[in-house]
Structures are given as structure tokens and as C-alpha cells.
A = this chain, B = another copy of it.
Amino acid sequence: MTLDAHTVQDTELIQLLTPEGERLEHPDYPLTLTDQQLRDLYRDMVVVRALDGEAVALTRQGELGLWPSLLGQEAAQVGSGRALGAGDMVFPTYREHAVAYCRGLPLLNVLKLFRGVDLGGWDPKEHGFHLYSIVIGTQTLHATGYAMGIQRDGGHGTGIGDAALVYFGDGATSQGDVNESFVWAASYNAPVVFFCQNNQWAISTPLERQTRIPLYRRAQGFGFPGVRVDGNDVLACLAVTRRALDLARTGRGPTLVEAVTHRMGAHTTTDDPSRYGHSEELETWRPKDPISRLRAYLSRDGLASPDFFDETDAHAKREARALRDACLALPDPPPAELFDRVYAAPHSTLEEEKAAYDSYLAGFR
């Protein structure tokens, strides 16, 4: 059986909430949420968008070296992030600020990284949220190995066990590491969920350069399920990720989730998207905004009062303000940070260098 790339019809996109805010049902992805839970998802998205915007502003003002904005990807990140259990471990790229938020990692930690105060510096175990990975694709192997560790801990496959959830982008799917992680996950049937945020771009490189068929189909080539979900639909992202995590927990192995979304801003604050025709698309994507559609649903069905929206906006502003203040108050790291975090056990050669540099610095005092 062969497949002609040019006749591939775009197949089912899981959607539970239309851009107009209409609620849909899907047999494979039943989802029942309380009104409170729905409002919480809305608040999450509004808050992270505000925090992200604040970080962009701080970068413009020279307080951060760089910021990769998540604008437009709030639903993909909040939906998947809220599907996680306490014992699960997330392996993010450098853009999963909303997932960090959902895991309870204070975003100041992320700002520290982009301010150049440290390289991440948080403890992954504390919030079940691994360090940001900047080298594209590397984290997919870490997540798969971590999942192999879960299998070896025992109690796995009972449904109560842990799982690993790894994020990566459309561009990352071209990296050898990502494909090797598919090989490993399939071979060991590891409890890992591969969550690909297809935001249509890898910096200036459009999706078409990386693949000529929908990315979720990559999984078929490795013998495990691939699912395509509307990445701007927070409910669908939640339901699809939940199911994938459940498959992992119950010993049914890995799943690839392709969340079809859009990077509504620049790649990072140093990028100039006007050079590669990114803006043309914005018109088609703006109506699909992840926040407005949930707001429409909440309002139309009276699940939230006008006050709620105002309160949420005010809350978000306060959070953003607090983040800014904390960021500006960050002290620079002392030179000792250079030497003291490299090795767990003493390393004589590095100690010699530290001693020499200390006495060099002393010469200036």
C-alpha cells in the first residue's frame, strides 16, 4: 500500500469548541467540566497572555535579553498542561510558559533565564516541570528515557502510574533526536506523550519545508497513534491530552498529539516576521484566537458574568505588575556561580581555576 503525497486529504481535526464558541461533542473525547473549571481555563489563558505580554515589554525595555512569546498558543499549552497529574513530568522547549504556569512554577524563574541571571535553575522535581531545552529536539529523548524509568519503577500500567509529556515544535520534527525518540518509545512502549505544537513556523521556515503531510501522521510510520487536535481549542487540547496520558498510564504506550495552532507574534523579540510573509496569515488566524472563542462560549451560555471577565483582566494585570516588579528586583549572580554548579563532587582542575580567578579579582580590591 503506497501513499501519494499530493492526494493526501486533510483528515479529522479534533475540535470541541468552534472559533465562534460553539460547543461540540466527540465520541472518543467526552469531556465534562464544571462551570468553575471552564472559567479557570479561561483565567489561565488570560493570565498567561498578560504575563507573556509583560515579558515582551520588559524585553523591549532591555530588562530581558530575549523572549519567545507564546501568543496564540495559550489553548494548546493550558489545555495540555491542565491534563497533567501531579506525578507526571513535563519536558518543555523554551516556549512553554503557560505549561510552567499550570505546573505552578513561578514565571519569574523563566524570566531569570531570559534575563541571563541563570540558565534555568529550577528543580524539575519540585513542580514536575523539567528545565527548558534550547537545543531543538533533545528533550524528546530525555522524556522517553524518563518514561522508561517509570516503567522500571514498578506499579506502571495500573492507570495510577506517572507519565511523561514532552513538547516540541513543527520544526523540531525534522531533527534526528525526535525521530529516535519515536523509535525508542515505540520499541519499549514507553509511557510518554509527544505533544507537537504546530504553530506553522520554525522562525522563518514554513511548515511545508519540514513536511508534506500532516505531522500527526508521522507516528503511523513508527507504529503508534497520532492525533490531530485544534490547538486553539483549549477543551479539545485538554481532552486529547488526557486520553493520551491515560493510554500511557495504562500501559498502552506513546501517542503523538499534533496541536494545530499559530505563532501569532514573532519567533522571539529579536525576530522580524515582516521579512518572511508571516503577517499575511494573521488575518486568517486572528478569528481563531484561543481566548476569544472560550469567552464567547462562556458568555453565550451564561457560564460567566461580565464581572468575571473584568475581574479576570484586573487579576491578570496585577499578576503582570507583580512579575515586572520581581524581575526588576532580581540581583545579578555572584562570580562563584560560575564555578560552583558544574560538578556535584569536587573537581580539582576547576578548583584551581577558581582559586586563581579569586586572587585575580582580589587584586582589584
How far, in whole Å, are A342 and B317 apart by their CA atoms in the complex? 64
A8 to B219, CA, bound (A): 14
Determine, out of A86-94, A180-188, A267-275, the stretch whose residues face the partner at the interface: A180-188
A220 engages B176 (CB within 8 Å): no
A227 at the interface (CB under 8 A from B): yes
A213 to B189, alpha carbons, bound, how many Å? 13
CA distance A240 to B222 in the complex (A): 23
Give A225 to B176 CA distance when docked, in angstroms.
Answer: 20
Query: Roughly how many angstroms separate A176 CA and B140 CA in the complex, as a whole number?
Result: 13
Rounded to whole Å, the gap between the CB of A168 and the closest CB of chain B is 14
Known A176-B180, A187-B210: A220·B220 in contact at CB below 8 Å: yes
Residue of B nearest to A179 (CB): B179
Residues 202-220 of A, flagged 1 when their CB comes within 8 A of B and 0 if not, give: 0000001111110001111
Which chain B residues lie closer than 8 Å to A135 at the CB level? none
| Contact (Cβ within 8 A) A180 B186 | no
On chain B, the residues within 8 Å of A187 by CB distance are 208-212
Which residues of B sit under 8 angstroms from A5, Cβ to Cβ?
186, 223-224, 253
A2 within 8 A of B: yes
Q: In this assembly, does A4 line the interface, its C-beta being within 8 Å of a C-beta of chain B?
A: yes
Q: Are B8 and A1 in contact (CB-based, < 8 A)?
A: no
A175 proximity list for chain B (CB < 8 A): 176, 180
Which B residues are in CB contact (< 8 Å) with A220? 3, 217, 220-221
Interface size band for A? 35 or more
By a CB distance below 8 angstroms, the chain B residues around A226 are: 2-3
Contact of A211 among B2, B183, B210 (CB under 8 A): B183
**Copies of this subunit:** 2
Q: Is the CB of B221 within 8 A of A221?
A: yes
Residue of B nearest to A252 (CB): B4
A11 CA / B2 CA spacing, docked (Å)? 11
Can you name the residue of chain B whose Cβ is closest to the Cβ of A173?
Answer: B183
Minimum C-beta distance from A189 to chain B (A): 8
Interface residue? A177 (CB, 8 A): yes
Q: Check A126 for interface membership: any CB of B closer than 8 A.
A: no
Give the residues in chain B near A176, CB-CB below 8 Å.
175-177, 179-180
A279 beta carbon closer than 8 Å to chain B = no
Tell me how far the C-beta of A212 lies from the nearest C-beta in chain B, rounded to whole angstroms.
4
Contact among B183, B212, B225, B227 for A186, CB-based, below 8 A? B212
Determine if A12 is an interface residue (Cβ-Cβ < 8 Å): yes
- Which residues from B are CB-within-8-Å of A217? 220-221, 223
A179 to B210, CA, bound (A): 12
Q: Which of A1, A186, A225 has the most CB of B within 10 A?
A: A1
Chain B's closest residue to A181 (CB) is: B176
Chain B residue nearest in CB terms to A253: B5
Chain A residues close to B by CB (< 8 Å): 1-5, 8, 11-12, 173-177, 179-180, 183, 186-187, 208-213, 217-227, 253, 255
Instruction: Kindly list 14 other residue pairs between chains A and B, CB separation below 8 angstroms, not including A175-B176, A187-B212, A221-B221.
Output: A1-B11, A2-B226, A3-B224, A3-B225, A8-B223, A175-B180, A176-B177, A176-B179, A176-B180, A179-B180, A186-B212, A187-B209, A187-B211, A220-B221
In the A-B complex, the 10 residue pairs with the smallest Cβ-Cβ separation, listed nearest first, are A176-B176, A221-B221, A2-B225, A179-B179, A213-B223, A5-B223, A218-B221, A212-B223, A174-B183, A3-B220
